[in-house]
Amino acid sequence: MELKSTSFGKHLAQHPYNRVRLLHAGVEVSGDKHQYIIPFNQIIAIHCKRGIVWGELEFVLSEEQVVRLHGTEWQETQQFYHYLQKTWQEWSQEMGTICATVLGQQTQALEQIVSRDNWFQLNELASLQESIREAFTALPLPLVRLDEFNACRDDYHRCLQWLDQGPARVIDRNQQWADRMLDLHRAFFNTIESTPLNLAQSRAVINGERALLVLAGAGSGKTSVLVARAGWLLRRKETLPEQILMLAFSRQAAEEMDERIHARLGVEDIKAWTFHALALFIIRQGSKKSPVISQLESDSQVGRELLITCWREQCSQKKAQAKGWRQWLVDELSWELGEGDFWQDDRLARRLSTRLERWIGLMRMHGGSQTQMIEQAPESIRDIFTKRIRLLSPLLKAWKQALKEEGAVDFSGLIHQAVDVLQKGRFISPWKHILVDEYQDISPQRARLLDALRQQNRRTSLFAVGDDWQAIYRFSGAEINLTTTFDERFGPGAQCTLDTTYRFNQRIGEIANAFVQQNPHQLPKPLNSVVKGTKKSVLILPESMLEALLNKLSGFALPEEKILVLARYHYLRPTLLDKAATRWPTLNMNFMTMHSSKGQQADYVIIIGMSGGKAGFPAPTRESVIEQVLLPQPEDFPDAEERRLLYVALTRAKQQVWLLEDEANPSVFIDTLRRLGVPRAKKP
């Protein structure tokens, strides 16, 4: 069947199309120079319009494209239109039936996924949405027409919702599933630890994202969550005990976790490792080597003596080396050196030995060549960094030679070798679930080890518990960005927060939280306390009041109540404490640095050394050019890590904190705390 423009209509319209012909499943519109075949599956609508003299046919296509035929005799136009419309609609009904079948199958698959008795991971959403898009592409009707067919409409909109609102749908679905699990397994969450888990802890435990960061504020029960997570995986039969890998940063933390796991879960096959112990295991299993930890690592004095011996040899044998070291120590570190053979000065050697150990450690941790290290340096300090690296080069060579002769490895070498074994496929990871404690202390080197483990099995989940507010180990290579940009490194995942602390009262929490969050780079989170506290729970006192404060404490502190005296440096330990055992025999008191106090808690905390200046707190930046290049870059916020260090100190206390200030030269943090509402008193 065909419809043509009249001769006169064709002449007046001057349109590229003047003829339309009905095909088996489409139409052909053509003119003297143009021909266009339009399949029925591209047509959205067909309109028939009457002009002043002639008729007009209009084919509406996708993307608002319209094809028109002008100048046809009106009666013929009507007849052609009705026949075409009937044919097109009959075809559409047939295709609608096919669409309904395809959409029904897709919806069925959707329902099966949604109704599964497990967590729906965000990374599954992408494949689900791709499946929907493929189904839509396979449909013989334009998507915009599906609403016309009753059999298609509901299934189409259900699929469309998962495309348009995918993340929200996943969250809603998981929320409903989690609510069911919390109700069904209430006894588990009430008894897995000595006290019932709260709602935030329980939700973190059952969150099944492949990469999950649990932000655990001070005293919020992170160890309880790690233990319960392992117990939940076993209870749900998602894994075997030997397929759970638990990682801690110190041997003591790993041993404590082992004891807790065994006591609460009653299983022996879950083992907590340090990163170094894990690396050693991987190397031994994946190669013919059986490395041991070098004496250079196990005995710092041995490592320092090696470096100083090599340093002295270099200075005595090469004048250029001696000159370079003199310039470094004088110009950059502002050390005073004697004339002549300064390297023979034992006091200077002891002082330098800790620096050398640190610098060589950073170079070993980097793992790259000297050229790669130099390329990493900013242009402004590259020349001076190159000179420093070349001075350290003989010491690094001596360190490596000592390792070779001993047939041993240092800690940095352990991690590098383990990553290499994994990447070459010489060791296949048996672990399906990796649980990491104190994740905020992760370094790029350790993160690469996690990457290598997960690369072997894309289905391996990472459950990381940490607190970026307590990230205080940048000096040892920890990089806070690995926490604050967790999802960027480990792919689609989630973040949840433990929002209740069981350690300190609300007043201590308000001050500490407000103080640390003045740095906009910290991840915001709520942290509520179960005890209210008073306005004097955090108090500023003159440093001269330490003795008076201890006298007062001895009058009301119970023997079982712990007191911590904290300072930025070891050497700030008050001599007054030398007589504490006899002067205040009932006080259960310890002194430690703020860094050492991490993981500790006490009823009362006394923070001393709140002064300004070179020996003050916050500590002024003293990094050499080596640290500036080889350590992770700090945040662009004044005293960011020192601020977190004070947060750690404040949050060791359950009941009360006293900050002892140097009234003549107070720390800048004192003014900040005063503005946050911390009162100042003249006496305890």
pLDDT digits (tens, 9 = 90+) for 373-425: 999 999 999 999 999 999 999 999 999 999 999 989 999 999 999 999 999 99
Model pTM score? 0.88
Report yes or no on 215 lying in a domain: yes
Stretch 517-542: mean pLDDT, rounded? 94
More confident residue, 668 or 634: 668
For the chain, the 3-state helix, strand and coil shares in percent, each to the nearest 5, are 55, 15, 30
Q: Do 528 and 400 share a structural domain?
A: no
Confidence of residue 6 (pLDDT cuts 50, 70, 90): confident
Beta carbons within 8 Å of 255's beta carbon, 6+ residues apart: 272
Report yes or no on 445 lying in a domain: yes
Q: Do 399 and 434 share a structural domain?
A: no
Confidence of residue 9 (pLDDT cuts 50, 70, 90): low
Provide the domain count of the chain.
Answer: 4
Predicted confidence at residue 54, as pLDDT, reads 82
Q: Do 127 and 200 share a structural domain?
A: no
pLDDT at 13 over 80: no
pLDDT at 290 over 90: no
Residue 680: DSSP 8-state: B
Predicted confidence at residue 492, as pLDDT, reads 76
pLDDT (tens digit per residue) in 93-122: 999 999 999 999 999 999 998 889 999 998
Q: What is the CATH number of the domain that holds 109?
A: 2.30.29.30
Q: Do 141 and 31 share a structural domain?
A: yes
- Residue 536's closest CA among 655, 413, 666? 655
Report yes or no on 470 lying in a domain: yes
Predicted confidence at residue 12, as pLDDT, reads 63
pLDDT at 33 over 90: no
* Residue range of the domain that includes 38: 1-184
Report yes or no on 512 lying in a domain: no
Stretch 169-191: mean pLDDT, rounded? 96
Predicted confidence at residue 235, as pLDDT, reads 96
Report yes or no on 420 lying in a domain: no
Q: What is the CATH number of the domain that holds 534?
A: 3.40.50.300
Q: Do 490 and 602 share a structural domain?
A: no
Report yes or no on 487 lying in a domain: yes
pLDDT at 232 over 80: yes
Q: Could you tell me whether strands 494-498 and 211-216 are parallel, antiparallel, or unpaired per DSSP bridges? A: parallel
Domain end residue (candidates: 470, 501, 532): 501
Q: Do 270 and 134 share a structural domain?
A: no
> Rounded CA gap, 31 and 443, in Å?
71
**Coil/strand/helix, residue 227:** helix
Q: Do 20 and 168 share a structural domain?
A: yes
Report yes or no on 414 lying in a domain: no
Predicted confidence at residue 357, as pLDDT, reads 95
Report yes or no on 565 lying in a domain: yes
Q: Do 209 and 175 share a structural domain?
A: no
Predicted confidence at residue 7, as pLDDT, reads 74
Tokens of residue 326, six digits? 């003199």
User: Which whole-number Å values give the CA distances from 647 to 517, 554, 590, 667, in the listed order?
Assistant: 10, 26, 19, 15
Predicted confidence at residue 423, as pLDDT, reads 94
Q: Do 632 and 527 share a structural domain?
A: yes
User: Which whole-number Å values give the CA distances from 37 to 42, 60, 198, 498, 574, in the listed order?
Assistant: 10, 14, 66, 63, 93
Q: Do 239 and 338 share a structural domain?
A: no
Confidence of residue 11 (pLDDT cuts 50, 70, 90): low
Identify the helix (H) or strand (E) that includes residue 137.
helix 122-138
